[in-house]
Structure 1
Amino acid sequence: MTSPLFLGSEIYRGSSYGGWHPLRVPRVSTVMDLSRAMGWLPAGQYRTSPRAKPKALTIWHTPDYVAALERAEAEQAVTDPVRDRHGLGTNANPIYPEMFRRPATAAGASLLAGELLAQGGTIYHPGGGTHHGFPDRAGGFCYLNDPVLSILSLRRAGAARIAYVDIDAHHMDGVQHGLAGDPQTLLISVHEERRWPFTGPIEDDGGGNCLNLPVLRGLNDTEMAAIRDRLILPALVAFAPDAIVLQCGADAVTEDPLSRLTLSNNAHWDIVAALKALGCPRLLVLGGGGYNPWSVGRLWTGVWATLNGHEIPERLPEAAEQVLRALRWDNPPKLGRNPPEDWFTTLRDAPRPGPIRPEIAERLAHLALRPAARGQIPE
C-alpha cells in the first residue's frame, strides 16, 4: 500500500440516530464530500466498506447480542428484557432503521483494515472508533466495538505488538474491557475527568497495559502537546509496536457540545502527524466522538490531509465552502445557532494555547513512572 486508503460508505449519509440524538448530525459523509471538494480523495484511494457478517462479529461480541441487534433492526422494537440485558432501545442507543447495518459497516471496515494492513500501510476509517461497545451490550452511542475488532483483525493478520491510542473526550471503557491485561497490547487513553462513562481514573492500569490520563476541563493545545511529547510518544517508542490504532474522536474541541475541553483541531492533527512520523509499519486512524457537524467535519478532513501530506490552505475553495454552508444542525445547542464565518471558509482553527497546569504536569510525571510507559508490560 503506497498511499493512505480511505474506508467509507454512503450508509452514513442518510442514516441518523433520530432527530433529538447527538448523532443526528452528518459526519463521515461531510468528510468524504469535503475531501473530494479539495481534490484529496481520488478514486484510487477510496474503498467502500463492506458490512460485517454476523458471524464475523462474534470473534468478540456474543452470538446472542449480535442476533438481538439484528432482530431489533428488523422489528424496529425491543422487549423490556432485551433492553435491560443488551442496552438496545435506550436514549443513548435508540431504535433506528439502520441500527445493525450502520455499525456492522463500521465493524466491517475495521475488520477489513486489519487484513489490508498485513503488509503495512496507512488506513483512515472515520466511521470507526465506537469504543463504548461491550461484548454483550451497547453503550454510549456504540452498538459494536470496532476498535477491538480492528485490533483482533490486525493480530490475526500478523501484527504482534499493537498500540491503541484514544484521544476522544470520553474514556475507552469498552476497549479496556476487551484488552486489559493483554501483554501484547498497549492502551493509552486521554479523556476528560468526571465525564461519562466515569471510568479510567489514573490509578487504573488495567492489569498493567493501560495508561489512563483523565484531564481537567479546559484542556488547551499546549497541554495536549505536552501529553503528546511526555506520554504518548515516549510510551509508543518504548513499546515498539508493529501496529498503531488511533481513535481520533473530535469531541475535545471547544465547539463540541458534549465535552468541556478547549482544544483546537491543530492538536489532533499534530498528534496524527507525530504518530505518522514514528514510521510504524501499520497505522489505522479511526473516528469516534464529535457532535458539532462543522467542527467534526473540518477536523476529520484535516486528519486525512495530514495523513497524505496535503497542505491545508488558509481559505477553502468555493466547492469545499459550499459543502460546509450546506450543513444543517437541527435543534442545535446555542453555539450552533449562528455559526461563525470561519466554520464555512477554513479547515484550521486558530490555535488555543495556554499554561500547563500543575495538575496536568503532575499526572504526566506520575504516569511516566509506570512500567507500561517504559514498554514493560507484565506477562
Structure 2
Amino acid sequence: MSRNARLIYSPDYTQYYFNDEHPFNQRRLLLTHDLMSAYGLLTDADILPPRMATDDELALVHDRRYIDFVREQGHSDKELPAAASYGLGTEDVPCFPQMHEASARIVGGTLQAVDAVMTGRAEHAFNPAGGLHHAFRGRASGFCIYNDCSVAIAYMRKHWNARVLYIDTDAHHGDGVQWAFYDDPNVLTVSIHETGKYLFPGTGNLTERGDGSGYGYSVNVPLDAFTEDDSFLDVYRDLLPKLARGFQPDVILTQNGCDAHAYDPLTHLSCSMRIYQEIPRLAHQLAHEYCDGKWIAVGGGGYDIWRVVPRAWTLLWSEMSDQPLADGPLPVNWLARWQPLSEEKLPDRLFDTPFPPIPRRAEITEKNRVTLERAKMYAPITDGD
C-alpha cells in the first residue's frame, strides 16, 4: 500500500469565517478530518500544516493594492469605504477580522501541497481548505478572497515551468481560474459545472474557449440542471482522458467541490456520493499515466457540511492515499460525536441509497451529450487507438 500522499490540514483553517448565517462554513473541515481519522486513514506522518502565502506569492495573481486593502480591512473595526469596489462587504463576501491572514493561510496550504509534490517529497497532496476558484486579480467573489488555485498554477509555471491540467468539477463554474490563464496554452482549464443559466457565476459557456495562443485551452461543459450520476460521469470519463492525452501535462490540479450532490442547498444537480469516488479515481490514473503521479487536489464548494462534504472528501483522500473504502456503515464514534450537533439526520452509510430517477432523465442525458461534443470541438483532444 502506497502512503505517498499528504493532507494539508490545520484546525486554524476555521478562521476563514464570515458569520453564523453564511453558507460557507469551514466547520466542514473538522467533520472531514474526524471522519478520515475514524476510518483509520490518517497518521501523523500524513499531515502537513499549512504555511502562510507571502505577498509576493499572492501577487503572482493578485494586484498588490488589493492585497494591501484586504489586510487593512481585516485589521479595521469597521467596513472601509472602498470595500465594495474590491468585492468585499457584500452578502457573498462579508468582511471579517484577520481576513488577509485567514485567506493567505489557505493559499499557503495549497502552495505547501505544490511544494511537496513538485519536489518529489510526495506523489499527491490534498488541501481540503483550498479550491477558492472565484476570486479575481483585484476583487473578491463567490465566497473567495484569494484564489489559491490560480496562485498555485502561477507558482508552478514560475518555478517549474510546468504544463498544468486544471480540472474543476465544482457545480459552479471555475471562472477566476479560467480568466487568469485565458491566453496561456501551457494551462488547460477544464470546468464541468451546472449551466450558468440559473446559477452563479453565470459563466462557463461553450463559447469561452480561450484567447490568442490560449484558444482551445479553456474547456467548459455546462451541464443541464438535475443532471444525475451516469450523465455526469459519462461526460467526465469521455473528456478527461482525451484532453490529458492531447495536452500531455506535467502536473494535474483538481478542484473538488462537492456541491453537485442532490443534497446541496445552493445548486440544482442531482448526483450522489458515487461520483465522489469516481472523479478522483480517474484523476489519479491520469496523474500516473502522464505526470509521474504528480497530483494536487483542493476542496471547493460544498454547502451540506454534515451529510455530503465529509463523505466526499474522505473518499477523495481514500483514493489519493491508496486506502480504498467500500460502502458500509459510517464509523459509530463519528456519528455519535457529530449527530447531536447536526440539525440534519446524518447518513449512516458511506454511499447514498439510490435516489428516485429524475423524470427528464433521457432528455437531460441527451442534452449533456450534445454539449460535450460541442465542448470538444476546439479543445486539444487526442483520441485513443
Query: Same-fold call, TM > 0.5?
Result: yes
1:291 partner letter: Y
1:143 maps to 145
Contact 1:316 1:346 in 2 (8 A): yes
Aligned-residue offset at 1:159:
4.9
TM-score by length of 2: 0.89
**What does 1:70-89 correspond to in 2, within 5 Å?**
70-80=71-81, 82-89=82-89
The CA RMSD measured in Å over matched residues stands at 2.0
SS of the aligned residue for 1:124 comes to strand
- Equivalent residue for 1:348? 351
Runs of 4+ in 1 over 3 A off after TM superposition: 350-356
SS of 2:62 mapped into structure 1 = coil
Give 1:250's aligned amino acid: C
Structure 2 residue identity aligned to 1:18? N
Task: Sort the Cα spacing of 1:323 and 1:151 in 2 relative to 1 into closer, same or farther, 3 A.
Answer: farther
Q: What amino acid maps onto 1:99 in structure 2?
A: M
After superposition, where does 1:1-379 map in structure 2 within 5 Å? 3-13=4-14, 15-24=16-25, 26-80=27-81, 82-120=82-120, 121-193=123-195, 194=197, 195-207=199-211, 208=215, 209-278=217-286, 279=288, 280-281=291-292, 282-294=294-306, 295-313=308-326, 314-328=328-342, 337=343, 339-340=344-345, 343-351=346-354, 355=362, 357-374=365-382
Decide whether the 8 Å contact of 2:25 with 2:305 is kept in 1. no
Q: Conserved in 1, the CA contact under 8 Å of 2:128 and 2:313?
A: yes
1:237 shift after superposition: 2.1
Q: Deviations over 1:286-336 (max 9, x none)?
A: 1000111121122111111121222325012222223442443xxxxxxxx
Report the 3-state secondary structure (helix = DSSP H, G, I; strand = E; otherwise coil) of the residue aligned with 1:293: coil
Contact 2:243 2:382 in 1 (8 A): yes
Tell me how far apart the structure 2 counterparts of residues 33 and 45 of structure 1 sit (CA, whole Å): 14
**Residue 276 (structure 1) shift:** 0.4
> Any conservation in 2 of the 1:72–1:78 contact (CA below 8 Å)?
yes
Q: CA deviation at 1:236?
A: 1.5
CA distance change for structure 1 residues 97 and 322 in 2, over 3 Å: closer, same or farther?
farther
Task: Give the match for residue 334 of structure 1.
Answer: none
State how far apart, in whole Å, the 1-side matches of 2:297 and 2:26 are: 21
TM-score, length basis structure 1 = 0.90
**Alpha-carbon distance between aligned partners in 1 of 2:15 and 2:176, rounded to the nearest angstrom:** 27
Tell me, what secondary structure is at the counterpart of 1:191?
strand
Return the offset for 1:128: 0.4
Residue deviations 1:159-204 (CA, integer Å, cap 9, x gap): 5211001011111111111111211111100111111111111111
Q: 3-state SS of the aligned residue for 1:244? A: strand
Segments of structure 1 that go 5 or more residues without pairing to the other structure are 329-336
Larger deviation: 51-60 or 130-139? 51-60
> SS of 1:31's equivalent?
helix
The answer to whether the 8 Å contact 2:276/2:315 transfers is: no
Consecutive unaligned residues of structure 2, counting only runs of 5 or more, are none
The separation in 2 between residues aligned to 1:12 and 1:269, in whole angstroms, is: 25
Q: Tell me: CA distance 1:312–1:98, structure 2 relative to 1, closer, same or farther (3 Å).
A: farther
In 2, the alpha carbon distance for the partners of 1:16 and 1:289 equals 15
Does the 8 Å CA contact 2:51/2:109 hold for their aligned counterparts?
yes
Question: What code does the residue aligned with 1:162 have?
Answer: V
Amino acid in the other structure paired with 2:313: W
Residue 117 of structure 1, CA deviation? 1.6
Q: Which moved more, 1:154-163 or 1:237-246?
A: 154-163
**Contact persistence 2:192–2:221 (CA under 8 A):** yes
Over 3 Å counting, the alpha-carbon distance change for 1:276 and 1:24 in structure 2 is closer
Letter in 2 for 1:160: A
1:346–1:123 CA distance, 2 compared to 1 (3 A): same
Aligned length: 363
